[in-house]
Chains A and B, each alone.
Chain A
Amino acid sequence: MLEKNDLEKLAELSRMEVEPAEEEKLLKDLGGILDHFEELKAVPTDGVKPMTGGTETRNIYREDEEGNGLTGEEAKKGFPEEEKDYLKVPPVFE
């Protein structure tokens, strides 16, 4: 069963604020969903290979050649702020 401190830890790992007022409802909802997952315990899976993706295709290579990617200018348009040809981010070290 999920407890309040578990929820706080998950919020910390997710880098996402959870308001104290919504904790009770979140614990109830997540608890109900995790209870539903209990049914999987009854499925024998010894020796079953995990399915780790949507395709069985392996080792997809391409020629190591320059393609029609975005130019530097185009790529920068995808970022909110720039300064003197650098992408601008808030201070990381305090």
Chain B
Amino acid sequence: MDIKDLTIKKVQEGLKGKEFSAKELTDEYLKRIREKDGDIGAYLSVFEERALKAAGDIDERNAAGESLPPLAGVPVALKDNLLIEGAVATSASKILEHYVASYDSTAVRKIEEAGAVVLGKTNMDEFAMGASTENSGFHPTKNPHDPERVPGGSSGGSAAAVAGGMALGAFGSDTGGSIRQPAAFCGIVGFKPTYGAVSRSGLMAMSSSLDQIGPFARTVADAELLFDAIRGHDDLDSTSLDLPELEPLKKEDLRGLRIGLPKEYFGDGVSAAVAKGVEEAVEKLKRLGVDFKDISLPHAKYGISTYYIVMPAEVSSNLARFDGVRYPGLPEVEKNAETLRDLYFKTRGEGFGAEVRRRILLGTFVLSAGYYDAYYAKAQKVRRLIGQDFDNAWGGVDIIMTPVTPTPAFKFGEKTDDPLSMYLADIFTVSANLSGVPALSMPVKPYPLGGKELPVGFQLMGPRLSDKKLLHIGKFYEEE
């Protein structure tokens, strides 16, 4: 079975026309995982039996003439920080190596209700902290376009699974760029919805005011279908909300659409390859009738400092729960700990990797007495200003377009010695999380399976709740 140009629409048609069964499709992806993932390392666990059973159910319903749900038979991968009842969920951390989730995340429940077949859980930077997946507590993941380079992060496993043809779609979480940056590095589509558009119930919390779940796919059309399956209000997450209904955008609507290019995103730090790619995308959108306008987001340059204060502060409190008591800890430590204090200190000291510990210490520092106002309170104010920059921009433009990353995928080890250089890889993505706006990362052109060219992507951001509009613009771009 050839999956090279497969899309969700083709899966829907293929199942309906009985060209193939869901089981055949799942078998094909499981075979590809067996053959390829030893080299790539996208998955942490593969659920062969569970996947084949889910596919078999779809085939039975299809044979009985039932109308199938929108993602019927679509093989997907999930980042390992999303809970599935009864399945190991590690967040790629040694501290959770033996943790089995006791309930389903809302997103996973909805994905399965929509008929998708979950193939397995994917590798990531530990607790979603990193931009290369090098911080996984288990193994690295390679970029399918060049095995010497990282797939990006933190959702690097999900991106590599899709770009390597080992899942048709995938889900990840994006706190400061963790969906959009790996999507750009791997030449696929990644979407960070408006804050609240997708329920966070059952997503392991990293930074609760920034985290959002979103999809990865080969096309924007597929990403939209995956997003539609998981979005909407959920009683288990009081920040979740329903998007307003939107008339589908028509191609004519692109004529006269105003897209802003913020000058702060096109400075010296942008590599020639990325600058050229984004320019190519601008030219293509111009051919579709879009008007471009130079704008300024004056506080964007403070995004990294603001983000790396707010996020670690939330990390330090969210990760306090991993204390060796409330979740299965480290067996060796448990055996030897003499006091409760000993158990806490050793579990957390040995169970967390270097980057997670760095962020816990940093977060504890910015929240501590005497430093709170200078760091945390200050960052919360600058966060407001970064959000206001966007609000001001929407007066003059409908959408904002930027690079996703300063460079294409970098090599293993290039940034691991200097954490600040790794943090700066997030420079173009953090503002969307800080202000809560939706942001779409898509490839400048199609990068085929097995291709060797290093991908470049671009980013479209819109006002809060404009998620569907962004996706529709993206669809017209990829159809052109």
Contacts and interface: CB of A to CB of B under 8 A. Distances in A.
A45 B316 CA distance: 25
Contact of B361 (A11, A19, A60, A92): A11
A55 interface: yes
Nearest to A80: B328
Contact of A54 (B195, B339, B340): B195
A10 B364 contact: yes
Interface in A30-83: 30, 32-34, 36-37, 39-41, 43, 45, 48-55, 57, 60, 62, 67, 70, 74-75, 77-80
Contact of B384 (A13, A50, A57): A50
Contacts of B61: none
A29 interface: yes
**Residue among B196, B349, B423 with the most chain A CB within 10 A?**
B349
Q: Is the interface on chain A under 10, 10 to 19, 20 to 34, or 35 or more residues?
A: 35 or more
A92 B154 CA distance: 37
B435 to A, nearest CB: 8
A30 B365 contact: yes
Contacts of B375: 37
Contact of B364 (A13, A17, A57, A79): A13
Interface of B is mostly: helix
**Residue among A19, A40, A54, A77 with the most chain B CB within 10 A?**
A54
B325 A90 contact: yes
B257 interface: no
B235 A40 contact: no
A48 B378 CA distance: 10
B381 A50 contact: yes
Contacts of B304: 36
A43 B385 contact: yes
B306 A40 contact: yes
Interface stretch (B126-134, B180-188, B261-269, B352-360): B352-360
Nearest to B376: A50
B340 A55 contact: no
A78 B103 CA distance: 8
A43 B299 contact: yes
Contacts of A13: 364, 368
Given A16-B348, A40-B378, A33 B308 contact: yes
B419 interface: yes
Contact of A40 (B209, B305, B352, B418): B305
Interface in B360-374: 360-362, 364-365, 368
A89 interface: yes
B445 interface: no
Given A33-B362, A43-B299, A78-B102, A16 B352 contact: yes
Contact of B348 (A15, A37, A60): A15
B7 to A, nearest CB: 32
A48 B340 contact: no
A5 interface: no
A70 to B, nearest CB: 6
Contacts of A24: none
Contacts of A22: 354
Contacts of B350: 17
A30 B363 CA distance: 11
B348 A30 contact: no
B420 A36 contact: yes
B210 A30 contact: no
A94 interface: yes
**Residue among A7, A15, A77 with the most chain B CB within 10 A?**
A15
A15 B305 contact: no
B271 interface: no
Contacts of A54: 195-196, 208-210, 239, 433, 436
A30 B195 CA distance: 29
23 contacts: A7-B361, A13-B364, A15-B323, A15-B344, A17-B348, A18-B361, A37-B305, A37-B375, A43-B299, A43-B302, A45-B381, A48-B381, A50-B380, A51-B434, A53-B209, A54-B436, A55-B436, A60-B238, A67-B235, A70-B102, A74-B103, A80-B325, A80-B329
Interface of A: 2, 6-7, 10-11, 13-19, 22, 26, 29-30, 32-34, 36-37, 39-41, 43, 45, 48-55, 57, 60, 62, 67, 70, 74-75, 77-80, 89-92, 94
Given A14-B360, A33-B362, A52-B209, 19 more contacts: A16-B360, A17-B346, A17-B350, A19-B349, A26-B361, A30-B358, A30-B361, A33-B423, A34-B365, A40-B305, A45-B378, A45-B382, A51-B381, A51-B383, A51-B434, A57-B241, A75-B102, A79-B326, A91-B340
